[in-house]
Amino acid sequence: MPKVSFVKARKLILTVFSISIIFSLGYTLGIKGFKVERNGFNVQISRENPLDKKQIDFSLFWKVWDILTANYFDKSKLSQTNFIYGAISGMVASIGDPYTVFLPPQENKVVEEDLSGSFEGVGIQLGFKGTQLAVVAPLPDSPAEKAGIKAGDFIVGIKDEVKKIDQGTVGISLNEAVKIIRGPAGTKVTLAILRDGTGEPLVFELTRARQDVPSLILSYVGENKDIVHLKLLKFGGETNEEWEKAVLEILKNGKVNKIILDLRNNPGGYLQGAVDVAAEFLKSGSLVAIEEKADGTREEFKTQKIGLLTKVPMVVLINGGSASASEILAGALRDGRKTKIVGEKSFGKGTIQEPLQLEDGAGLHITVARWLTPSGFWVNEKGLEPDVKIEDDSKTTEDEQLNEAIKQLL
């Protein structure tokens, strides 16, 4: 592997983030802070504070604005729109929550592409362990998976020759990292990876490719091929349609009477997707998750349809790449029908982000609540512990975790 210069990064305590839910909710830029009027690409900015912000002193902000505008040597770099986006980004970042982020239009588009399942890149779902950038999960058959990158790897450096970027990742935001790592198919990006058990970073040069990621993969396992192996890769916009087709195929196959629901390396997605899938296995009206807000109020998410697989014996597979909505689903099935969980401890991402669509394609993701399993367990930083723990052995081609799931159903 090529030698690359990277800034050293420390290994920190685990707290993990995965791609959040996207909803189309209205929000008007300017109701708090600046009043912005748009006419084409010209932006007129009023320096008058709103009535409820009269006591806030913005003089230092405007002083810096004016100094930059008057004295910065390269006037082509000065953009009022970017000034505003930068100010908003800084305000949001000051909270110190890596899950609460402002997304300028291009970055917001990238997040939407993730859930659509079609984009160009190396196929890594990114997140954080503590404040260190990490791999939530590599996507199946992606350049990252083929190169050997694993869930839980720390990304301590990124290099892109074309973009002229060669930097460490301490202090980097999720969206900045995605922007650097993603790029046109056929181009290259180099990552320095720190992994448990390795003293020095592992260096991977990856060639970006077109990624068309389905929501699920259906196959049959077991000696008589009578066990459904349903690998759910994400909870995206098209998941429900793909799921319904898979269930119909399962029902048509009369000899199938057992199911393995594989949530390994599933980083999450739409909360409602987890509720819809859970409804297939639980009685109507069953509790799937509890949303608890800052004021202590709670909202319960329950199944609302008659499930077609409620009596089929099943096992759930999880690992360290199972996060967010996949943890919600696994926890609901264990609490609701005593489903056995096999594999490794999940990531432990137990907060809920409310994504808002702003004007001009920008977005704002806000942590608004935490979620609990039906039994009241908060997975954040703890994760779900499997009932049968089987470590992934990378030294063998055998899938020991899947084999154990099959064994549990015999």
* Residues 6 or more apart in contact with residue 249 via CB below 8 angstroms: 218
Sign of CA dihedral 343, 349, 352, 356: negative
- The residue assigned the tokens 């748009």 is 38
- Longest distance between any two alpha carbons in the chain, whole Å: 76
* Residues 6 or more apart in contact with residue 28 via CB below 8 angstroms: 359
* Residues 6 or more apart in contact with residue 105 via CB below 8 angstroms: 360, 361, 362
Helix 271-279, helix 325-337: angle, nearest 10: 30
User: Under DSSP, is residue 133 helix (H, G, I), strand (E, B) or coil?
Assistant: strand
Token pair in block for residue 326? 């996949």
Instruction: List the catalytic residues.
Output: 324, 335, 349
Q: What's the rounded Cα separation, in Å, for the pair 178 and 180?
A: 5
Strands 209-212, 216-221: pairing is: unpaired
- Written as one letter, the residue type at 382 is K
Token pair in block for residue 92? 């949001």
Phi, psi dihedral angles at 42 (to 5 degrees):
-90, 130
* Residues 6 or more apart in contact with residue 37 via CB below 8 angstroms: 43, 44
Residue 344 near residue 392 (C-beta atoms within 8 A): yes
User: Rg (Cα) of the chain, in Å, rounded?
Assistant: 23
Q: What's the rounded Cα separation, in Å, for the pair 372 and 351?
A: 9
CA distances, 204 to each of 143, 146, 155, 208, 344 (Å): 10, 11, 11, 12, 25
Phi, psi dihedral angles at 162 (to 5 degrees):
-65, -45
Token pair in block for residue 110? 């990238």
Give the DSSP letter of residue 254: T
* Residues 6 or more apart in contact with residue 300 via CB below 8 angstroms: 287, 289, 290, 291
Phi, psi dihedral angles at 245 (to 5 degrees):
-65, -40
